[in-house]
A and B are shown apart, each in its own frame.
Chain A
C-alpha cells in the first residue's frame, strides 16, 4: 500500500460506535495520518444505543452514524465485511482472510459480543442474540413465526429486548438468574417495583431461574427446563445474559488481557504494546470494562490525543444511567448499592404512585454518592449534577427526593458550575455551551449541531434544554411561545383561560387577553377550544367568524370552491338502503362519488347553494355529519371481526361503532382517527391511528398516538387486555388530556413525541392518576358526549344559519365559474383551458 511518507499509518479494527468516534476525532485533529478502517460488519458505524428503535420503524439509514461518502471525503481507506483474523506485531501488520495491512499505529475497537451461557440446546435456529442490525432482522423474522418469546437475562439490555418482543406481538417472558431485575444498577426495593411495573405491562418475569437445557416443546417450539425442574415453553429465545469483550485478537497476539477478559490498557489507552491501542468495550482499564458508549468515546478522544502527542488521561468514567424500559423510568447514579464505607441512605417510596427513590450520601452528609430511581426520574439530572460536581448538600438532603416539597432546592441550570458536564457522551461542559452561544448559536438545534451535545445516548436532552434556555434568557433572547400576534399565550394557556374564566366567545377572550381583530390562526384555534370546552353549536352567530371555511360550511372546500360531502358511516358499516340513499343523492345532484381511505363515501362537487338540499335528504334518511371538515373525530375504521372472520376474537365492528358514536363531534387540536381490529392480523391498521385497538383473547390492547400521513408513526402499546369499560375510561382520559395540553394543529403523534416523559408519563397520568385529574377529565368528556348534536341537523333547523348557504346575498343564481367536464362517467372540475374553449358543461338544472 502506498502512503504519504510523512503521514503515519493508522489501522482501526472495528467500526462500531467507538471506532467511528475515534476516526472522526482523529480527522478533526488535523494530524497527517493515513487511516484504514476494517469493519467486521457489512456497513459503517451505526447507533447501537438506539438499536431498539428498529422495532418502531427506524431503518439502517436512520441509525447510521456516518456514510461512505463522508469516509471517502475524509480520505479513509475503509473495507466492509473485513474481519481481522490475525495481528503480526513483529511485522506490524494485520490480516483479514484476503489482505494484509501494515500499520504504524493499531487501534483495536472490537467491542463486545453477546454472551450465550453454555446451556445444552442453546445453539438452535430460534435461539438468538441482540447486538447488530443483522441480529434484529433475524429476530424480526423469527417473531413472525412465533407466538411466545423468552428473554434470558433481566438486565438493562434484556428488558429492552423484552420490550421489542412484546411490541412484535409475542407473549413475552423474562428469565433472570439473580433474585431481581437489573441487579447491577438497582437495589432490591427498586428491583421489586420495576418487576411489578413490567409485569403490569404483560411481560412475565421469572427470577432465580437457571436454565439447564433447551429441548423441543409440546405447545411451543422449545421447552426450557430450569434447575428447579420447572419449565417454560417458548417459540424463540433471546440471550441477553451479559456481554464479553472481543479480545481474541489481542489475546492471540500476546497482548495482556484481564482474567475475566478485556485488553488491558493504561491511562493513554495503550496496551502493553505501545503501538497498539484498545478503546471501547474491548478494553480493560484498572480491571474494569465499560459497557456504555460515553466512556468509550472518552477513550477514543484519549487515544487521539496520545497519537497526536498530547496528554489527556483516561481516568475512568461515570456509569450512571437513566432510561425508559417499556415506558418505565429507571435511573441509577454512582454508588447505587451504598458500598462506600459509612454511606447512609434516604428512601422514599409511594406504592400508589409506583415510585421508588433512594439517595445515598457520605458519612459526613456532605455530598451525594449515588441514587436509585424507579417510576419517576425527574430528579435524575439534579442528583447527577450533585454527585458529579461534589456540590454541597442542602440541610435536609431528603428534600432532594421528596415529591414537590417547598424546600426542594431548585437546582436551576444557573446553579451549575461552568465546569459541570452536561453531555457525558460528547464531553460537553456547560462552558462549551456558553461558548457556542457566544459564537452565535441562537437555538437549541444550533447548539446540538455545533457541540454534538445530546446526540449520543440522549440522556442529557432535558438538562441541555434547561441550560440553553437559561443562557439564552440571560442574553435577553426571548423564547417566544405566543400563538400569533394577537395572543401572547400558547394554545394550552388559552384553553385554561377559557375554562377557568368560563369564557364563551372569541370577542370576550380577545378583549380580556389579546389585541387586535384576531386572524386565521387564533380564530379557528379559539373556535376549537370553545367547542372542546363547551361543545356549543359551531355555527352560533358568535362563533361563525371563527371557523375555517370548512367548518362554516360543514364541508371541505375543493380547488374550484365547491364542497365535498361525507356522511358518517360508523365503523364503515352501512346498510344497502343507506347506500342507495347516498347513490340517489349523488345522482340527483350530479356529484362525483368515491370511496375514501377512511371507510366511507365522499361526494364531491357540491356548490355552496346545494349543500342544504343535499343534507336535508341525507339527514331525513338518518345520516349524520361525518366531520370530515373538522379538527375532530374522523372515522373509527374496523375490520369485520369475530362476527364473520374465522380468526376474529372479538366483535371489532360493534366496538368501532360504539366508539365512533361516543366520540363523534369531539373537537380537538387536530383531527383524531381510530381503528379497531378483530385480531392481531390487524386488518384495520389500528397501529397507524391516534387511537388503535386490537382485540385479544382477553379483551382489548390499546395503542396510542399512531399516525399515517406525512410522517408515519406506529402507535405505542399503552395497555393490554382491557375490558371495554376500562378501555373507554382510558380513551376518555387520554383524549381529554390531549385536548387540554396539545398545541394547535398538533396530531397526537407529535404531541406524544414532545410530551416530557413520553409514554410512561402518559401512562402514569392515565392509569395511575399521578396528577389526580382523572375524575375531572372523565366529567369533561361526559359533558361533551352528552352535548353532542349533529351540526347538519341543527343547521337545517336554523333559519339564521341557513341564510349563509348561498353564493349571493342578492341573487339566487349559481356561480357560473364552477364548470365540469365528464371523466370516466362522472364529473370533474374543468381546467381553465377547457373553460376558455367552452368545452365545459355547467350543471343546467339549478342555474
Chain B
C-alpha cells in the first residue's frame, strides 16, 4: 500500500505478525493515537488495514473489536456498538456518507507489523 503521504510520515514498529488474529483486529497505541489494525485473509492472500480506532457514532475506542466482512466484495468492518459498516480501504462509512474513519499506511516487513503516521 503506497500512499502519497507515506514518504512524509514516520513508520512505527507495532508488533510481530503472530500477534495478529486472522480476519480480526488488534489495536496499537502511538503517542496518544489509537489505531485499529485489521488482518484480512482472503483467497490465499493476507492484507492489512490500519484505521482510527474511535467509533464516530458510539464515541468509544472499540473499532478493532468489530467483525470483518465484505459488502459487494469490498472488505469492511462493522462497529461492535451500533453495527455501522466502514470500508477498510477508504474508511468511508457505508450507512452515513458524512462519517469516515481515518486511514493509515500499514505494512508487513520481515514478520514485523509497521504503521505510518
* A524→B67 contact, CB < 8 A: yes
- How does the 8 Å CB contact mask read for B48-67 relative to A, with 1 for contact and 0 for none? 00000011001111100111
* A523→B69 contact, CB < 8 A: yes
Closest to A522 in B: B69
CB distance from B54 to the nearest CB of A (A): 8
Indicate if B27 sits at the interface (CB-CB under 8 A): yes
Interface-side segment among A91-99, A368-376, A555-563: A555-563
State whether A557 and B80 are in contact (beta carbons under 8 Å apart), knowing that A523-B67, A809-B19 are contacts in the complex.
yes
Indicate if A817 sits at the interface (CB-CB under 8 A): yes
Sample (30) of A-B pairs whose CB atoms are under 8 Å apart: A485-B71, A486-B70, A517-B23, A517-B40, A517-B68, A517-B75, A518-B69, A518-B70, A519-B67, A519-B69, A519-B70, A519-B78, A520-B78, A522-B69, A523-B68, A541-B21, A541-B22, A545-B21, A545-B24, A549-B67, A557-B62, A559-B58, A804-B21, A807-B34, A808-B27, A808-B34, A809-B26, A809-B37, A811-B28, A817-B54
Residue tally, chain A, CB below 8 Å to B: 37
B59 to chain A: which residues have CB within 8 Å?
832
A520 to chain B: which residues have CB within 8 Å?
66-67, 69, 78, 83, 85
CB distance from A606 to the nearest CB of B (A): 14
- How does the 8 Å CB contact mask read for A506-548 relative to B, with 1 for contact and 0 for none? 0000000000111110111000000000000000010011111
Chain A residues within CB distance 8 Å of chain B: 485-486, 516-520, 522-524, 541, 544-549, 552-553, 557, 559-561, 608, 803-804, 807-811, 813, 815-818, 832
* A810→B28 contact, CB < 8 A: yes
State whether A817 and B61 are in contact (beta carbons under 8 Å apart), knowing that A517-B40, A520-B83, A545-B68 are contacts in the complex.
yes
Interface residues of B in 1-27 (CB under 8 A from A): 14-15, 19, 21-24, 26-27
* B65→A552 contact, CB < 8 A: yes
Which of B27, B42, B67, B81 interacts with A557 by CB under 8 Å?
B81
B29 to chain A: which residues have CB within 8 Å?
807-808, 810-811, 813
CA distance A522 to B19 in the complex (A): 26
A807 to chain B: which residues have CB within 8 Å?
27, 29, 34, 61
* B71→A815 contact, CB < 8 A: no
Indicate if B73 sits at the interface (CB-CB under 8 A): yes
* A810→B14 contact, CB < 8 A: yes
Residue tally, chain B, CB below 8 Å to A: 39
State whether A810 and B21 are in contact (beta carbons under 8 Å apart), knowing that A545-B68, A561-B61, A817-B61 are contacts in the complex.
no
Query: What is the interface of chain A mostly: helix, strand, loop, or mixed?
Result: loop
Closest to A552 in B: B65
* A803→B19 contact, CB < 8 A: yes
Query: What is the interface of chain B mostly: helix, strand, loop, or mixed?
Result: strand
* A516→B62 contact, CB < 8 A: no
CA distance A547 to B14 in the complex (A): 25
A817 to chain B: which residues have CB within 8 Å?
54, 60-61
* B62→A561 contact, CB < 8 A: yes
A818 to chain B: which residues have CB within 8 Å?
60
Closest to B32 in A: A816
CA distance A561 to B64 in the complex (A): 11
Tally inter-chain residue pairs, CB-CB below 8 A. Answer: 104
A516 to chain B: which residues have CB within 8 Å?
69-70, 73
CA distance A430 to B86 in the complex (A): 47
CB distance from A829 to the nearest CB of B (A): 9
* A559→B60 contact, CB < 8 A: yes
* B81→A809 contact, CB < 8 A: no
* A548→B67 contact, CB < 8 A: yes
CA distance A518 to B67 in the complex (A): 9
B26 to chain A: which residues have CB within 8 Å?
804, 809
A546 to chain B: which residues have CB within 8 Å?
67
CB distance from B40 to the nearest CB of A (A): 7
CB distance from A489 to the nearest CB of B (A): 17
State whether A549 and B62 are in contact (beta carbons under 8 Å apart), knowing that A517-B69, A520-B78, A523-B69 are contacts in the complex.
yes
In the A-B complex, the 6 residue pairs with the smallest Cβ-Cβ separation, listed nearest first, are: A519-B69, A561-B60, A549-B80, A517-B70, A545-B23, A520-B78
CB distance from B116 to the nearest CB of A (A): 15
A557 to chain B: which residues have CB within 8 Å?
62, 65, 80-81
B60 to chain A: which residues have CB within 8 Å?
559-561, 817-818
Closest to B66 in A: A549
CB distance from B99 to the nearest CB of A (A): 17
Since A544-B24, A808-B29 are in contact, a sample of 13 more A-B pairs with Cβ atoms closer than 8 Å, ordered by chain A residue number, is A516-B73, A517-B42, A517-B69, A519-B67, A544-B21, A545-B22, A545-B23, A559-B60, A561-B62, A807-B29, A811-B29, A815-B34, A818-B60
CA distance A742 to B65 in the complex (A): 28
CB distance from B35 to the nearest CB of A (A): 9
CA distance A486 to B76 in the complex (A): 13
* A808→B71 contact, CB < 8 A: no
CA distance A541 to B21 in the complex (A): 8
